[in-house]
């Protein structure tokens, strides 16, 4: 007889892995499905390529780079470990309170501010320069274990080689220890429905198709949620979305660079509520710089000689909900470009960053601003459009739980928010299973 799981989770990023872990802690039977593998070699350029879909070369039709993970642990593997609370104002608008779940996540993920020796000399210099200019920069909270983190490493975005940064794999492994099953290299293609209710999923792995059955189905695959939902008849999924457009700005400060400092360990949310922008020191490695220089134009290629000398800062914005996802297209699977409002926000952030870099000692002619790129697709299956406040679609027992459900662009690091949503959904699912 075919096993019927209490919960099937499609996607092992922060949202999905949290649901798997929380439900396993409640003695529920769980199947966690991941379309990617479990790449083990962290801390180098190859690891980033193996973790990302299309080796990191996913482009919009407008040739903007957008980062899409495809590996066990999802985006948490290559994020910088920057912890920002779920923005209360955003979730108040849709009637969701994540206060309790956010505090639970703080404890589980060991979120705290790093000591100065881990923050790094260059970051502290930028912090001082920004505050001298009147900007309100502070040290940022991180989900990084200080007893494992190594000073002057800075390889967070390449996958932490010291296992110091929390990743969704930790929750996934805890779920497995509690009895959950894990399928890798397995793509969920469709939802199985009976009498209007979701009862399982169809999958494909190395050409082999198989069905699995569950009482609750949770889609946590980000962009891939869109195709599954549209095939299930939810056509509005992915008709507009956000990517939290960002722009990297770098300058050469004699005797300093951010290559080996802890990324995003200082910065500011000062402009978030008023202008929808966040500013944090971080810069892509030489490989990503090469791609961005090519997209910016041939005149930028000579600047690659400074690839290991740049001190870099990023502006990230709350972009407007525009564009469309084309889930069945291998090349250019979405259309998304900065709107006029988005460009104004980016330009303001770039202007602030240039002032900080120059104050810190970067000559004006050493500063370069790369083209906008997308940090993480989100709000494609958002609350109020595709899911309700319990993250359930109009198909009973079918849920989404990841950045796709965000009601709008956050313009912030999203991991803490995704984990908090996963915890909240798990409580709701458990109550429903008890009642059924």
Read off the pLDDT of residues 75-101 as tens digits, 9 standing for 90 and up.
999 999 999 999 999 999 999 999 999
Residue 115: band (very low, low, confident or very high) from pLDDT cuts 50, 70, 90:
very high
pLDDT at 79: 92
Structural element, H or E, at residue 189: strand 187-194
Global pTM value: 0.95
Residue 359 pLDDT > 70? yes
Per-residue pLDDT tens digits for 360-374:
999 999 999 999 988
Considering only residues 13 and 293, tell me which one the structure prediction assigns the higher pLDDT.
13
Q: What is the mean pLDDT of residues 4-8?
A: 98
1-37+72-109+166-243+377-436 falls under which CATH superfamily?
FAD/NAD(P)-binding domain (3.50.50.60)
pLDDT at 172: 98
Give the alpha-carbon dihedral of 251, 257, 261, 263, to 10 degrees: 10
Residue 300 pLDDT > 90? no
Considering only residues 42 and 65, tell me which one the structure prediction assigns the higher pLDDT.
42
Q: What is the mean pLDDT of residues 125-140?
A: 97
Please state whether beta strands 4-10 and 208-219 pair in parallel, antiparallel, or not at all (unpaired).
parallel
Residue 1: band (very low, low, confident or very high) from pLDDT cuts 50, 70, 90:
low
Asked if 246 and 373 count as a contact pair (C-beta separation under 8 A), the reply is yes
Report the chain's mean pLDDT, rounded to a whole number.
94
pLDDT at 266: 97
106-110, 150-154, 228-232, 273-277, range with the lowest pLDDT: 150-154
Residues in contact with 273: Cβ distance below 8 Å, sequence separation at least 6, in sequence order: 89
**SS3 (DSSP) at 12:** coil
Residue 145 pLDDT > 80? yes
Q: What is the mean pLDDT of residues 402-431?
A: 97
Between the alpha carbon of residue 425 and those of residues 22, 102, 190, 429, the distances in Å are: 9, 13, 22, 6
Residue 44: band (very low, low, confident or very high) from pLDDT cuts 50, 70, 90:
confident
Per-residue pLDDT tens digits for 166-206:
999 999 999 999 999 999 999 999 999 999 999 999 999 99
Residue 141 pLDDT > 70? yes
Structural element, H or E, at residue 24: helix 14-25
Closest CA to 160 of 176, 142, 177, 178: 142
Q: What is the mean pLDDT of residues 223-228?
A: 96
Q: What is the mean pLDDT of residues 141-160?
A: 91
Q: CB 240: neighbour CB atoms within 10 A?
A: 16
Per-residue pLDDT tens digits for 14-42:
999 999 999 999 999 999 999 999 999 88
Compute the distance between CA of residue 188 and CA of residue 202 in angstroms, rounded to an integer: 6
Q: What is the mean pLDDT of residues 239-252?
A: 95
Per-residue pLDDT tens digits for 45-61:
888 888 888 777 788 88
Considering only residues 300 and 313, tell me which one the structure prediction assigns the higher pLDDT.
313
Would you list the domain boundaries of the chain? 1-37+72-109+166-243+377-436
């Amino acid at each position: 007889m075919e096993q019927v799981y209490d919960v099937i989770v499609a996607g092992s990023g922060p949202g999905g892995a949290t649901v798997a872990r929380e439900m396993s802690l409640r003695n529920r039977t769980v199947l966690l499905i991941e379309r990617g593998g479990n790449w083990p070699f962290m801390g180098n350029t190859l690891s980033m390529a193996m973790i990302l879909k299309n080796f990191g070369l996913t482009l919009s039709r407008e040739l903007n780079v957008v980062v899409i993970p495809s590996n066990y642990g999802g985006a948490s593997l290559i994020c910088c470990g920057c912890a920002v609370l779920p923005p209360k104002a955003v979730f108040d608008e849709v009637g969701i309170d994540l206060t309790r779940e956010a505090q639970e996540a703080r404890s589980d993920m060991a979120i705290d501010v790093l000591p100065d020796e881990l923050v790094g000399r260059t970051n502290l210099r930028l912090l001082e320069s920004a505050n001298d200019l009147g900007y309100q920069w502070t040290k940022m909270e991180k989900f990084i274990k200080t007893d494992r983190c190594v000073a002057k490493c800075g390889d967070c975005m390449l996958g932490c080689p010291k296992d110091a940064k929390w990743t969704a794999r930790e929750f996934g492994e805890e779920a497995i220890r509690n009895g959950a099953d894990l399928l890798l290299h397995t793509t969920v293609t469709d939802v199985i429905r009976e009498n209007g209710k979701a009862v399982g999923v169809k999958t494909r792995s190395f050409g082999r198709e198989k069905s699995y059955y569950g009482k609750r189905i949770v889609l946590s695959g980000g962009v891939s949620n869109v195709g599954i939902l549209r095939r299930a008849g939810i056509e509005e999924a992915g008709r507009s979305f956000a990517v939290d457009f960002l722009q990297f700005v770098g300058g050469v400060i004699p005797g300093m660079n951010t290559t080996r400092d802890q990324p995003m360990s200082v910065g500011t949310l000062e402009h978030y509520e008023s202008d929808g922008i966040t500013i944090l020191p971080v810069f892509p490695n030489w490989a990503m710089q090469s791609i961005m220089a090519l997209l910016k134009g041939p005149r930028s290629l000579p600047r690659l000689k400074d690839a290991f000398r740049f001190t870099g800062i990023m502006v990230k914005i709350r972009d407007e909900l525009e564009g469309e996802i084309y889930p069945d297209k291998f090349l250019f699977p979405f259309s998304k470009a900065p709107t006029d409002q988005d460009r104004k926000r980016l330009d303001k952030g770039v202007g602030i960053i240039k002032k900080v870099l120059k104050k810190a000692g970067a000559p004006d002619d050493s500063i370069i601003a790369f083209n906008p790129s997308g940090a993480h697709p989100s709000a494609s299956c958002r609350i109020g459009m595709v899911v309700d406040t319990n993250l359930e679609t109009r198909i009973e027992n079918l849920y989404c739980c990841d950045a796709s459900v965000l009601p709008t662009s956050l313009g912030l690091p999203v991991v803490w928010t995704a984990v908090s949503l996963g915890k909240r959904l798990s409580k709701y699912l458990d109550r429903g299973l008890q009642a059924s």
